[in-house]
Amino acid sequence: TVNQKRVLITGAGSGLGRALAFCFAENGWRVACADIRLDRAQDTVRLMRDFGVGAMALKVDVGSDASVESMHGEILAAWDGVDVVVNNAGVASAGSVAQTSLDDWRWTLNIDLMGVVRGCHAFLPVLLEQGSGHIVNIASFAGFANAPRMGAYSAAKAGVISLSETLRAELANTAVKVSVACPAFFSTNLMDTARAPEADKATAKKFMAKATQSADDVAAVIFREIRRGAFLILPTKGERGRWRAKRFAPELFFRKLVAMAGKAGNKS
């Protein structure tokens, strides 16, 4: 129907992106599932058939200006506009600042930060012209915590938080909303494509395995908070307390962070 709301989600072929696609579809939204792997995006669309909503699969590489522009063209050709844009696609990397190659820095920043910038840049004019809409950027609690051996990833995610705060200020007098979601560890396939030493991958996988929340749980919280119009979304348990500790007792937070990282490193 004409009144059906429309959402575009990047990285919708797996993990949090797929879980978010299901949340929107269950609530009657039309969903555009974009992913660097078209086959995975098509799988998500197939799995959503039971919801009886319009869904389409698109191939996008958020690391490429031309690819994001092409996705923008496809969305407008199919829908004329879009109500929510979820910049979710991302990659993981780890390793010390001294040892992470400049290529790995560029790769991480280009996808995790510039990928979000490209999404905002392409769709903001559309939302402003139609006089409504919502940009949702998926960052990470890593952007606040800045743990050791996660320099490139944390810097990219901190950039997404900063970008989202800037956008919120720029759009304060418009009907376009902004949200930024900062989950911590939960079970996902993010490590499959990660660029990281094996020991760091093993540590991350341990944290993920210990997490009590699934991608579906995290997506449900994010979806609820988007509907509420919340700006900062901390969807994983315990993160609100850690965020407060970082703000109000930064030195204590730092000591705990270093101690936790040391413990995790010894176990891996």
Q: Minimal CA–CA distance to 57: which of 43, 67, 69, 47?
A: 43
Q: Minimal CA–CA distance to 242: which of 143, 150, 152, 144?
A: 144
**Calpha distance 69→92 (Å, rounded):** 24
Helix (H) / strand (E) element for 6: namely strand 6-10
Instruction: Give Cα separations from 131 to 80, 83, 125, 164 (angstroms).
Output: 13, 10, 10, 19
- Whether the Cβ atoms of residue 9 and residue 21 lie closer than 8 Å to each other: yes
Identify whether 247 is a catalytic site residue.
Answer: no
Instruction: Give Cα separations from 50 to 54, 63, 119, 158 (angstroms).
Output: 11, 32, 29, 38
Establish how many alpha carbons lie within 13 A of residue 257's alpha carbon, considering only the half-sphere containing its beta carbon: 20
Give the number of other Cβ atoms within 10 Å of residue 92's Cβ. 22
22, 153, 185, 223: which one is catalytic? 153
Residue found under tokens 């996988």: 205
Residue 8 phi, psi (nearest 5)? -110, 130
Residues carrying an active site annotation: 153
